[in-house]
Structure 1
């Protein structure tokens, strides 16, 4: 398993709810969480294989910005 981290523009639980269906639809995602208390609103995703592009697509599709953190 691999952990991917992204900086996002998610702001609240409602924002998190908007990405939930898309995130849960990616079979390779084992678990995910958004740290809404951090300044960069870090999205951490545990995956079985790298699906970075799919994660970015899910977040951008509902109107938020997302950037991978190396």
Structure 2
């Protein structure tokens, strides 16, 4: 299991709701969450393989910035 971390521009629960369908559609992801309290708004993804490109595409598709940390 891989744990990936991303810095995002998500700001609130509404932002999190916008990215949920895209992230849930990535089959390799077993679990994900966003720490909205952190300054980097860290998205942590646990997946069977490296899905960095898929996660980045899903988040950017709904208008947010994201980068691997």
- Using the size of structure 1 for normalisation, the TM-score is 0.97
Cα distance in 1 for residues equivalent to 2:62 and 2:8: 12
The size of the alignment, in residue pairs, is: 69
- Shift >4 Å, 4+ stretches: none
Cα distance in 1 for residues equivalent to 2:23 and 2:67: 16
- Using the size of structure 2 for normalisation, the TM-score is 0.99
1:62 deviates by 0.3
- Give unmatched runs, 5+ long, in structure 2: none
- Give unmatched runs, 5+ long, in structure 1: none
